[in-house]
Amino acid sequence: MTRGLTLFLAAACGLIVANLYFAQPVAADIGADLGMSPAAIGLIVTFTQLGYGLGLVLVAPLGDAFENRRLIACCLAGAALALAGFAFAPGVAAALAFCLLIGVACVCAQIIVPFAAHMAAEEARGQVVGDVMSGLMVGIMLSRPASSFMAHWLGWRSTFLASSALMAALALLVLRFAPSRRPAAALGYVATLRSLVGLARNVPALRRRSAVQAPLFAAFSLFWTAVPLLLTSPAFGLTQQGVALFALFGAGGAVAAPIVGRSRAPLRLTMGAAILSVALSFALAALAAQIHSLALLAIAALALDMGASANLILSQRLLFAAAADARSRLNALFIAAFFVGGALGSALSAAAYERGGWPLACAAGAAFAALALAAFLREPAAGLEAG
């Protein structure tokens, strides 16, 4: 696992996962072009997320059963076709079908992460996973501003066509440069999927990490769904381009991932600090809105992203140590819980903002962080260290 390969996999994860979020800031433009009603526009994002959820259950676990390099390349080729299909979709039904396929194919990012963990030496595994996940987090954060900028200058279709070309190029690069990895377990497809139930029941580390990370990512998603509403309100008066620049700054929080990956500090201390950072960020964000301080709001966003990224990396480090022969399946189940938390946070953000403005949105985010902290504090120190 060379440094160059680590950086390549990190970049690949970021480019892949960005496809899940490109449509969010330009959904209104897409809907207008396709003749969708305002109420139906949200289905574009919903179908992509639904596809990703299906992929986590039906595709990502296959990293423990099939040769990884070809599996990743096949998914990337599928993503390239689905993205191009969406860009040229003739109508609403075709567009939603391609959104579903984009979500399913882009789950290969969650095959790459355990693949990198397998390739890394044991003493460097935390660093490698941290580096790869930093790429994924940067992809999440930069996807929306990138889509906004490209749609402004070239139209929304340009984003999906450019990404389609990138996915095709990545598929070729994976086949050329990534090492081959054939899992030792000779599980078939059905047996692989059946084993998920047993893993969920029998691996305590999975339940512990999910109980902490799901509400933490709910807080993360709630913030980033609601903050554009605040930034474009009279309190700050930013344009969509200004919101995009704010998101670019927030992406700096992903630097926590490689730092934490290299850290040898006690896990309980580091994880506790990460969760508290998320909780504190909402207090700062609420104060920032009261005093109309964009700088303080940016600091809150950075603290939120750093805390969420750090805890994610530490959780995956423990998870990958729990069962080496089931890393892809454990990661798929963990990210599924993570994904459900994020979807819940996004769903609640708009309702909270509509009913109580930014203060209620911050209170809801802080409540999610408190749930994560409560789950963390209930866990025995010995259980944490053991995964």
Looking at residue 386, its pLDDT comes to 44
What confidence tier does 278 reach under pLDDT thresholds 50, 70, 90?
A: very high
- 197-226 burial string, b = 16+ CB within 10 Å, else e? eebbeebebbebbbbbbbbbbbbbbbbbbb
Look at residue 378 and tell me whether its pLDDT is greater than 80: yes
Look at residue 251 and tell me whether its pLDDT is greater than 50: yes
Look at residue 376 and tell me whether its pLDDT is greater than 90: yes
Q: Which pair of structure tokens corresponds to residue 292?
A: 């109309």
Mean of the per-residue pLDDT values for the chain?
87
Compute CA distances 81 → 26, 161, 272, whole Å.
21, 10, 43
Look at residue 277 and tell me whether its pLDDT is greater than 70: yes
Residues in the chain, total: 387
Nearest alpha-carbon partner for 73 in 160, 162, 178, 158: 178
Rg (CA), the chain: 20
179 against 46, higher pLDDT: 179
Contact 20, 48 (CB under 8 A): yes
Nearest alpha-carbon partner for 307 in 370, 243, 362, 257: 257
C-alpha–C-alpha distance, residues 137 and 283, integer Å: 23
C-alpha–C-alpha distance, residues 127 and 324, integer Å: 17
Mean pLDDT across 318-333? 83
Nearest alpha-carbon partner for 262 in 310, 208, 206, 305: 310
What confidence tier does 128 reach under pLDDT thresholds 50, 70, 90?
A: confident
Contact 168, 301 (CB under 8 A): no
For every residue of 214-276, DSSP letters joined together read HHHHHHHHHHHHHHHHHHTSTTT---HHHHHHHHHHHGGGGGHHHHHHH--S-HHHHHHHHHH
Look at residue 254 and tell me whether its pLDDT is greater than 70: no
**Contact residues for 35 (Cβ-Cβ < 8 A; gap 6+):** 91, 92
What confidence tier does 298 reach under pLDDT thresholds 50, 70, 90?
A: very high
Per-residue pLDDT of 48-63, as tens digits, reads 888 998 999 899 999 9
Looking at residue 107, its pLDDT comes to 95
Task: For residue 75, report the phi and psi dihedrals to the nearest 5 degrees.
Answer: -65, -40
Look at residue 246 and tell me whether its pLDDT is greater than 70: yes
Contact 227, 301 (CB under 8 A): yes
Mean pLDDT across 278-291? 96
Per-residue pLDDT of 7-44, as tens digits, reads 999 999 999 999 998 987 787 788 889 888 766 776 88
Mean pLDDT across 190-217? 88
Q: Which domains, ranges and CATH numbers included, belong to the chain?
A: 1-183 (1.20.1250.20), 199-379 (1.20.1250.20)
Compute CA distances 100 → 86, 282, 335, whole Å.
10, 33, 18
What confidence tier does 263 reach under pLDDT thresholds 50, 70, 90?
A: low
Looking at residue 24, its pLDDT comes to 77
C-alpha–C-alpha distance, residues 64 and 53, integer Å: 18
243 against 273, higher pLDDT: 273
Q: Specify the DSSP element, H or E, that contains 35.
A: none
Looking at residue 186, its pLDDT comes to 64
Specify the pTM: 0.80
CA-angle at 240, arms to 235 and 245, nearest 5°:
90
What percent of the chain has a predicted confidence (pLDDT) above 70? 94
Mean pLDDT across 246-263? 69
Instruction: Identify the burial level of 278 via C-beta atoms within 10 angstroms of its C-beta, where 0-12 means exposed, 13-18 middle and 19 or more buried.
Output: buried
Place of tokens 């508290």: 276
What confidence tier does 83 reach under pLDDT thresholds 50, 70, 90?
A: very high
Range of weakest confidence among 20-24, 136-140, 250-254: 250-254
Helices (H), the chain: 3-18, 27-34, 43-58, 68-87, 92-105, 109-119, 125-154, 156-177, 189-202, 204-231, 240-250, 256-262, 267-291, 294-322, 327-378, 381-386
C-alpha–C-alpha distance, residues 268 and 258, integer Å: 18
